[in-house]
Amino acid sequence: MIRTLIAFSLFVGVIVGVWFLADSLFTAASATAPNDGFTQISGILSTAMMCFAILLAIRPRFLEPALNGLDKMYRLHKWLGVGALVTGVAHWLIKTGGGPGKGASGLVDVATQTVIETLRGPARGVAQPAMFIIFAFIAVALITKIPYRLFAKTHYLIAIPFLVLAFHSVVLLKAGYWAQPIGWLTLALVAIGTLGVFYSLLGFIGVGSKVQATVENSAYYPELRVLEANLKVDGAWRGHKPGQFAFITTNKKEGAHPFTIATAWNPAKPSIGFIAKELGDFTGNLRQQFEVGRSAKIEGPYGRFVFEDDKPCQIWVGAGVGIAPFVAHMRQLASTPSAKSLYLFHSTADVSDLALAKMKADAKAANVTLHILISPRDGRLTAEKIKKAVPQWKSASIWFCGPTAFGAALKSDFMRAGLAYRDFHQEVFKMR
């Protein structure tokens, strides 16, 4: 959360700071001057946040280390989308306060008068319909009850009205800005956003990270409504670390869905396993989607939830299907033991004797101390229960995967008890 907040605040702060080098909210003494400043900065901010959000949407690997994984990048993408919506509405509400100001001279002024001025009318005319379309698409993304399939398709189409708004932003940028850093920065961001749009529309997202796969086998646990499937991949897979995730496509109409990888990587046996729960419109049909022999495409791996730190002790908390990354790590540790003291707490409301037997076997082979809590019988897992079971928790790091609210509650309790913020790791496995 902290890195996401810092990245968001820093981005907005830089845009606003650079803008203030060129302008202010109250400039020349005219009836429209105050509104002119608000109109310009709100429009620039909305466009800038959309451009950054598009960059994150194409899944650039080089940003994962700085932003702590693709799951956190998608959270920042969501914040930027909401920010673009808010500043876009503000821009629309105040835009009648005045038109673009003047102030450039020389070549910039000539270019503005001879080229950009002729485009101002069309730029104003197309902006409002495009803005309403984007607002509708963002609303679809934020309403989680809308099926993922519809969300994915409409979110993909947001690229088209964005191009219209990018045109609007460049043409109606105040003429004087083109000789200032804010003009150069705006143009650079629009260029990045536009390139990102075409990168997406041409189907290049993840193009260097996709491999063909075939479903080898699967096991269904009816008590849990959970499917465990293994897919054989071709030789192009680059390998992965326990805790990472990948996007799987078994049906082009459905598109790609994210799944946490639940197996360790073995180049001699190139297969990848996933554990998924029947929840939504796609995962409610898991057994049909992952029939043995079915072809699939796998894109990845992504994520930084990889259990790497210098702590002598790690506490793992896997709630429900959030157990998947820990299963993967235990299977790796069976062949490459760790010197760390490892404790796994698995909290679940449903019970499958077969699934629990497999988990116990994995924990024993990995030398992991396993605590299983059946919530109807044992009550809710709390920080106090974990601290009681692991007396050396203050020298440990905590790795959590499960419901967001549950993780937030545990994190808050441990922070109040004195655990350092950097020692609580949480996967934010939420793509919208």
Instruction: Concatenate the DSSP letters of all residues of 256-318 into one string.
Output: -EEEEB-S---TTS-EEEEEEE--STTGGGHHHHT-TT-EEEEEEEE---S---S-SEEEEEE
CATH 2.40.30.10 segments of the chain: 207-302
**The two three-digit tokens of residue 422, written as one number:** 């950097």
For residue 10, give every residue at least 6 positions away whose Cβ sits within 8 Å of its Cβ, in sequence order, or none. none
Residue 184: CB atoms within 10 A of its CB come to 13
147 secondary structure, DSSP code: -
For residue 358, give every residue at least 6 positions away whose Cβ sits within 8 Å of its Cβ, in sequence order, or none. none
Whether domain 2-201 has CATH 1.20.120: the reply is: yes
* CA neighbor of 85 nearest in space, from 157, 137, 143, 123: 137
**The two three-digit tokens of residue 266, written as one number:** 């073995």
Identify the pLDDT of residue 284: 65
CATH 3.40.50.80 segments of the chain: 313-426
Indicate the pairing of strand 226-233 with strand 271-277. antiparallel
Residue 336: CB atoms within 10 A of its CB come to 8
CATH 1.20.120 segments of the chain: 2-201
Whether the bond into 325 is cis, omega within 30 of 0: no
Q: Which fold has domain 313-426?
A: Rossmann fold (3.40.50)
Q: What are phi and psi of 60, to 5 degrees?
A: -70, 120
Helix 2-22 vs helix 181-201: crossing angle, to nearest 10:
130
Q: What are phi and psi of 230, to 5 degrees?
A: -120, 130
What DSSP element (H or E) covers 425? strand 424-426
Dihedral sign, Cα of residue 150, residue 153, residue 155, residue 161: negative
**The two three-digit tokens of residue 77, written as one number:** 């993408």
Identify the pLDDT of residue 99: 41
| Cβ proximity of 8 and 76 under 8 Å | yes
| Cβ proximity of 296 and 249 under 8 Å | yes
Owner of token pair 């150069």: 184
Which of helix, strand or coil describes residue 111?
helix
Q: Which fold has domain 207-302?
A: Elongation Factor Tu (Ef-tu); domain 3 (2.40.30)
Q: Which residues pair with 131 in a beta bridge?
A: none
* CA neighbor of 13 nearest in space, from 41, 34, 38: 41
pTM: 0.84
Rg, the chain, Cα only: 25
**The two three-digit tokens of residue 423, written as one number:** 């020692």
For residue 247, which amino acid is it? F
Listed in order, strand segments (DSSP E) in 308-410 are: 313-319, 341-348, 369-374, 396-401
* CA neighbor of 429 nearest in space, from 260, 261, 274: 260
Task: Using 50 as the pLDDT threshold, list the residues of the chain that sit under it.
Answer: 28-33, 97-123
Owner of token pair 């192009």: 236
Q: Which residues pair with 343 in a beta bridge?
A: 315, 369
| Cβ proximity of 177 and 187 under 8 Å | no
